[in-house]
Amino acid sequence: MDKLYVVMVGLPARGKSTLARRIQSGLEQQGITTAIFNNGDTRRRLYGPQSAMPDFFNPNDESAVARRMEIARMTMEKARQWLTCKGDVAILDATHGTQTQRRQLLDYLNDYPVLFIECVNGDPDLLDIFIYRKIQMNEFAAMPPAVARAAFLQRVAYYESVYSPLYHEACWMRVDVADCRILAEAPSSALPYYPAIRSIIVSRWVNNLYLVRHGDTEYNADGRIGGDPELTPLGQRQAGLLARYFRGVSLPYVFSSTKKRAVQMLAPLLAERPIGTAMSMEEFDEIDAGICENMTYNEVRLAMPEEYAARAANKYGYVYPGGESYAMLRDRVARGLRKALFIAGEGSLMIVGHQAINRTILSLFLAHRPGDIPYLNIPQNQFYHITVTQGKKLFELIRYA
């Protein structure tokens, strides 16, 4: 049977472990036995919290370099034994940041083919989020947050000082993990599982996405556009019912727009969940209606009949004066969705958005003609449950109130 080593490459907090888990999940769904071997796990087991200190990663400290080389050797040996005995694909998850390290790895793992995958991340917001998540790990538990962050950033600086991107290796690809995009590659037609891995990387996957619209506002009752209204008593009851519906459901990641009505919609749910990641993201703010913000459609019809007629003729392409169109909305919503899915990794997540936002998110998963997107149903007492993986596609609309 074909066997393969997949070697992750990249600076810390660039999504290597996230992509490794995604590849493992996708391959196992196809019946390909896969396991991940992480240098960090070996380091923490052998040296404990003291190995979180920056000097452990100092490339000029010979004793530190020797310890890290021994950790790498132990991880490689464990992966080699597993692959020889029973596995199909062994994923080695570490920085592997220099050509010397990668040549040594190739010399040691010379029994089966090796594919290098380099992870890059050009989004400063995502980088900051992943640094925050890194310093929540147990190895930083004894440090104040500011000290932990400084220690981790010094670790990154040490890695950066000797880092060399992939180029000379025989089989490799460079991946923007957040964008699910292969930036460059040097493929080999003889490499096992390469088409499957490439397909996994470029696919937008989500195990459980709960897509929720905010509850009732006075603007909804009046038919007003945009603005930043608060929830009505009915909307607050809907928020409470949403929290009750999801009581006991795992939701490690929750996202919303920055608008009051979306943040208030999440408040009862978050009050019951002190642990987890909750973020408000401008990418999920409702469509910008420009000069039409806070107006009713009837007011627009009377004051700006030409604009009213133009919107009625092409709701998808129409641009509010000084604002956005559905067509313009797509890029920023897609950017926010990529961030949310990347942060959540294999975990379940909820997004609380708005009518136009949730229509656009649905359209990113479903094949709709652009002109039909403004007509998708986004009720305020129901949510969409979405699962899209290599082997499963699920879209269901569920009532919670």
Question: What are the sequence ranges of the domains in the chain?
Answer: 4-202, 206-399
| Residue 143 token pair | 């440090």
Question: Rounded to an integer, what distance in angstroms lies between the CA atom of residue 95 and that of residue 327?
Answer: 39
Q: What are phi and psi of 280, to 5 degrees?
A: -100, 130
Q: In this predicted structure, what is the pLDDT of residue 204?
A: 74
Query: Could you read off the pLDDT of 83-110 as tens digits, one per residue?
Result: 999 899 999 999 999 999 999 999 999 9
Question: Exposed (0-12), middle (13-18) or buried (19+): which is 361, by Cβ within 10 Å?
Answer: buried
Q: Can you tell me whether residue 351 is helix, strand or coil?
A: strand
> Is the pTM above the cut of 0.95?
no
Under 8 Å between Cβ of 358 and 384: yes
> Which residues face 93 on adjacent strands?
38
Question: Rounded to an integer, what distance in angstroms lies between the CA atom of residue 155 and that of residue 290?
Answer: 45
Q: DSSP letter string over 136-199? A: TSGGGTTS-HHHHHHHHHHHHHHHHHH---S-SSSSEEEEETTTTEEEEEE--TTSTTHHHHHH
Long-range contacts for 355-359 (Cβ within 8 Å, ≥24 apart)? 355/213, 355/286, 356/286, 356/287, 356/326, 356/329, 357/257, 357/284, 357/285, 357/286, 357/287, 357/329, 357/333, 358/211, 358/212, 358/213, 358/384, 359/326
Strand ranges for 268-347 from DSSP E: 277-280
Write out the H or E segment, with its range, that includes residue 4: strand 4-9
CATH classification for the domain delimited by 206-399, as one of 3.30.360.10, 3.10.20.90, 3.40.50.1240, 3.40.50.720 = 3.40.50.1240
Q: In this predicted structure, what is the pLDDT of residue 203?
A: 81
| Residue 391 token pair | 């082997």
Any residues with CB less than 8 A from the CB of 176 and at least 6 apart, and which? 120, 121, 122, 183
| Residue 6 token pair | 């997949």
Q: In this predicted structure, what is the pLDDT of residue 368?
A: 82
Q: Can you tell me whether residue 46 is helix, strand or coil?
A: helix
| Residue 244 token pair | 């009750």
Under 8 Å between Cβ of 39 and 75: yes
Q: In this predicted structure, what is the pLDDT of residue 127?
A: 84
Query: CATH second-level architecture of 4-202?
Result: 3-Layer(aba) Sandwich (3.40)
Q: In this predicted structure, what is the pLDDT of residue 321?
A: 96
* Nearest Cα to Cα of residue 191 among 54, 5, 370: 5
Question: Rounded to an integer, what distance in angstroms lies between the CA atom of residue 183 and that of residue 194?
Answer: 16
Displacement of CA 18 from its chain's centroid (Å): 8
Place of tokens 């403004």: 374
Average pLDDT, the chain: 93
| Residue 199 token pair | 């397909």
- For the chain, list residues with pLDDT below 50: none
Q: In this predicted structure, what is the pLDDT of residue 16?
A: 93
Place of tokens 């490690």: 252
Question: Rounded to an integer, what distance in angstroms lies between the CA atom of residue 138 and that of residue 145?
Answer: 12
Query: Could you read off the pLDDT of 107-125 as tens digits, one per residue?
Result: 999 999 999 999 998 888 7
Q: DSSP letter string over 111-151? A: SS-EEEEEEE---HHHHHHHHHHHTTSGGGTTS-HHHHHHH
Q: In this predicted structure, what is the pLDDT of residue 207?
A: 85
Q: In this predicted structure, what is the pLDDT of residue 1?
A: 66
* Nearest Cα to Cα of residue 195 among 183, 205, 207, 182: 182
Q: In this predicted structure, what is the pLDDT of residue 389?
A: 78
Q: In this predicted structure, what is the pLDDT of residue 54?
A: 93
Q: What is the largest CA-CA distance in the chain?
A: 78
Question: Rounded to an integer, what distance in angstroms lies between the CA atom of residue 51 and that of residue 119?
Answer: 24
Q: In this predicted structure, what is the pLDDT of residue 275?
A: 67
Q: In this predicted structure, what is the pLDDT of residue 234?
A: 97
Q: What are phi and psi of 228, to 5 degrees?
A: -135, 55
Question: Rounded to an integer, what distance in angstroms lies between the CA atom of residue 82 and that of residue 75?
Answer: 11
Sign of the alpha-carbon torsion through 251, 253, 255, 260: positive
* Nearest Cα to Cα of residue 23 among 13, 10, 3, 8: 8
